[in-house]
Structure 1
Amino acid sequence: MNKTLEEHIIQENLTPEQLAKISKHYKSKNVSELPEWFKKKTVPREHAGILLYTIIWQEMENGETLGEVWNDTVEPSKLDYHIKGLKAQTNYSICVEVMYYSFTTLRSEYLEIETNRNFSLIPPGDHKDNCHCDKMGTVNDDPDHPGCRTHFFGSMSLKLCQCQEGYSGMYCHICRPGYYRLGPNMPCNKCPCDIKKSNGYCHFREGYLFCDTCNEGYGGNLCQTCAKGYYRPGGSAYCTRCNCHGNTDFCQDITGECIGCRHNTAGFNCNRCAHGYVNIRKTGHLTSCVHADTAQQMQEKNKPSVGSGAIAGICVTVIVVIGLIIGVVIYKRYWRYPTARPFWTVELKDDHEGICFSSVPEDELVAITAREEEEERKRGKSGSQPYTKLRENI
């Protein structure tokens, strides 16, 4: 936004919320420099919206204003405003000023009014005119004081306004939440906002009636239309979400037929692949529809030559076979070459100063050899390693 335009806006002494509101408006309209219609009485229609109201009031005496001038800003969505802090039984001069998005301002004529008595709990018979009720908003069942009802507080009593349905306030002069009026001195009417479609409250904005908040699935100023992604089945008063499997955001507003299916899908609910396309995902939404030729290429490319399970089986088999071969070799070697028997000994002499060598006696060596040969023959095994005599000429 141009600095000159920023300076003009800052000079208006707006609140941060109002500054953000006007900045958002100018940004949405692509206004970056000070326009020719700024603060002019004739402006483009798109900039004729109301930015805020300003209520101005000042105390009066004998037809002359005196004292401090008071003011307060009001959002354009508010239809009623209550000035606080006024003195009882005092004359005031009040006017309303409106500011548009173009910063053009218009001011109403000044209205001179007198406030009511500032009454509280009053003894019976002290005042007979202590109830000033709005005739349109009160229940008129007291002939002496229309709209008033006496309320007792111990020995004290007070006449208070009894409001009709749809009215509230001390004098039953404003509409209750959920009601609206077309203008001053007009009756309060119930908001035409279905609680199944909205929060049930409404307000005026720039001459049009709006429901405060629409529920999910509804739109329009009175939440009377279906929002994007919803439709109203024939004969139904309420909206239903479109069943398009996430492949489009729009459907026909009565039948619910999906419009503009994406991701190569088709059908009433975008629930199948379009002609010439196949779904490569077996579960979930149809978001994987690809051309048939592409799907075939993908399958051939991803087809494994040997499964991972087959590779694992081959590896295990090889390990088992190698283990068996090693076991057989060790077994045969053990029986073919038994552990050799000692045929000579080495002993330490008694004086611990020498070593004595002695060989196995001849008869004992022969007996051992004969026994082992006999055992070999019984097992059907031959070629065992015989003992040899120790050479004595070492």
Structure 2
Amino acid sequence: MIQARTRAWWRATAALCLGSFLVFINLYVPQPLLPGLKDTYGVSTLGVSFLMSASTLSLAFSLLVFGPLSDAIGREAIMRITLLIAGGLSLALAFAPTFESLLLLRLLQGFVLGGLPAVAIAWMGDEFEKPALLSAVGLYIGANSLGGISGRIVGGGAADLGGPSAAFIAVGMMTVVGCAVFWRLLPNSRAFTPKRFKLRQALGDLLGHLRAPVLLAAYCLGGINFLIFINQYSYITFRLAGEPYQLAASSLGLIFLTYLGGTFGSTLSGRLAGRFSPASCMSVGIVILMLGTAVTLANSLWMIVVGLTINAFGFFLAHSLASSWVGRYAQGARGSASALYLVFYYLGASVGGFWLEPFWRWAQWQGVAVGSWLLLGITLAISVGLWRFERRDHC
């Protein structure tokens, strides 16, 4: 077993953080490009939003495939091969002749991008001692957000120089080069023991989690919150690309630096949960997300940025606590319980455009705010229900 802070630990952790960074830089690179792609292909705001929805939907599905598959055939091959294919697909996206082909490539890319997130923490669980695992997971999750921010910034900057195709080429080349480094850094597994895949048992575990109200509530809370949070960023690009702001793609990419508010929120969540009820802290996070949305209604660009930063803080506060809630209350098969949370999480991102598009057409950004508050009211009620359960559970 790999011990914390040893040379082997640093090498393996660096490899997995790099892999995580590459996954999320590919997943989110189209987001600041949406206004430009909308004009290039002559599609609607809902149609171009499918570029994000298709990839997150297929990623959600792939989590249910790659996780059990890795238990049977091993984990390194899945991570290495899927990451390489993802880079190749980014290069292919640059030359997509039609919007339909672009959408199909994003659907395929989303599926292979799920290979590494589905098995990375399981690989660490196999190879690392417990203290080493805890330290590595924190760095790995940090690389997730860094990759997401970088994908938007790199994509926006490259698009200003050479259009959307240049953004996909830049990220594709970064991924191919990074994948070569990842292959070299990642050690071969020594502690992995193959397990025969049993479909009936796997399905039984998933159904058991879905039948547990306390878990299903957390799944819905995380999925609906992410539905609002991630799709607000898509629609804010349309708002800021138009009058009176007329921001270029590179400036739209910089808007996603507001995600750093979420880094602070997720870091603070552990401290708050140690002092207060985790469910009540989820409620606080949702209220903060609702208030941040209200701030974005201002006409000042700086106030919009402040509102988005507040949103990120509130969302990640609630998300961190909801995901840890699943690990706390799952009765056995915690791996599949956590995977199911991520499935709901990315499914929420996939359907958000269908929910918010009518509100956008009705009243532009003010409509998006109204649509957001309607669903956030539901998740706030869910969190209050979890708080009441928590109080009864401790009596």
Query: Per residue, is there more helix in 1 or in 2?
Result: 2
Name the TM-score class by shorter chain. under 0.3
Normalising to structure 2: TM-score of the pair?
Answer: 0.20
* Bigger radius of gyration: 1
Q: Which has the higher contact order (CA 8 A, sep 6+)?
A: 2
Normalising to structure 1: TM-score of the pair?
Answer: 0.20
Query: Per residue, is there more strand in 1 or in 2?
Result: 1
